[in-house]
Amino acid sequence: MTAAITGLGIALPPATGQDEIWDGYFSAHYAGPRNGLARRIFTNSGVRTRHAAVSPLIEDVSEWSTERRMRRYQAEVMPLGKAAVGRALADAGIAAGDLGLFAVCSCTGYATPGLDILLARDMGMSPSVQRLFVGHMGCYAALPGLGAVSDFVTARGRPALLLCAELTSLHLQPPGARADIQQIVSHALFSDAAAAVVVTDTASGYAVREVAAITDTSTADHMTWDVTDQGFRMGLSPRVPAVLATHVRGLVDQVLGRHGRSIADVDGWAVHPGGPKILDVVQEQLELPGTALAASRSVLAAHGNCSSPTVLLVLDELRRRPSPPRSVVMLAFGPGLTLYVTLLEGSSL
């Protein structure tokens, strides 16, 4: 029995140009001695447009309480999640009532009843559908989520759906003493999106061959996502690329080797675009040609870093090519520090 991705749906809030959001909001947000540094970080982020369910050009949430942000999260994420789920189901050609498992990944908002319960109700899923919520794993959550739904399909023979939905725009932090370089970098990169994939027992689509991970707990403080009284606050060390450089080649080689493959056999790379330096390190360590990560760089430029949905946005761009890849390695990174690798093989969607 093979679990394969047979449907993919994307939903995005309104887009804003990076220059526009700098000139219209962040240039004043970072007024003072760090203004020049902040401008350079925004300019060199690799992001050209980004998406925000709550745009600071319209509504400044930086001083909001966490409670107020969570209430807004629930209001904004529901229609976004519903759109992504509906498009994925339509792409796969199955009904919501056919699903045996509905899994949701999100690290930017929490409520009970949450997305898993409310969307299952609104989308017409069966009352007996099993649900799984994966919270606070961060940017790599789509891959363990994909592993979980794939294992369900393999074990039960029933379709499953994974939704990744993030509203990072709700966690804009106040300026002032807390506006350190790590906050400037996160505000220059992060964006909002929802992406959903349907996984079924079929010979078509992209078969999920393996999901593997490595966590270097000695660097646990390099990437953090703290719950504060004013939203969730990102900690992002400049040493993250060096940690990835230590581990990424070994993990990729191990996964490919178990399937009789090498890096040269892979014709599609869906690498989470955590930032330009992350992509540069992956390309260098895997000795990939300059065009190998074009889809990841394109997603970073057009959408920014949307946390957990981002690697699925890259997969969507790959599958829409005139000649979609037949062998895809997905890579995502996040707190831990953790690296996840997924090998997909088969026909395109």
Give the separation between CA 178 and CA 335, rounded to whole angstroms.
Answer: 21
What are the phi and psi torsion angles at 8 (to 5°)? -145, 130
Q: What is the DSSP string of 283-339?
A: HHHTT--TTTTHHHHHHHHHH-B-STTHHHHHHHHHHTSSS--SEEEEEEEETTTEE
Q: What is the DSSP-derived secondary structure letter of residue 174? A: P
CA dist 97 and 110 (Å) reads: 25
Q: For residues 294 and 272, give the distance between their C-alpha atoms in angstroms, rounded to a whole number.
A: 12
Active-site entry in 105, 107, 139, 306: 139
Q: Measuring CA to CA, which residue among 341, 216, 346, 208 is closest to residue 282?
A: 341
Q: Is the dihedral of CA 312, 317, 322, 325 positive or negative?
A: negative
**Cis ω before 236 (30° cut-off from 0):** no
* Sequence-distant (≥ 6) Cβ neighbours of residue 190 within 8 angstroms: 50, 168, 169, 234, 304, 305, 306, 307
- As beta bridge partners, residue 4 has 200, 207
Report the sign of the C-alpha dihedral through residues 9, 78, 171, 169, in that order.
Answer: positive
306 part of the active site: no
Question: Is the separation of the CB atoms in 50 and 18 below 8 Å?
Answer: yes
In this structure, what token pair is assigned to residue 296?
């990841």
Residues carrying an active site annotation: 139
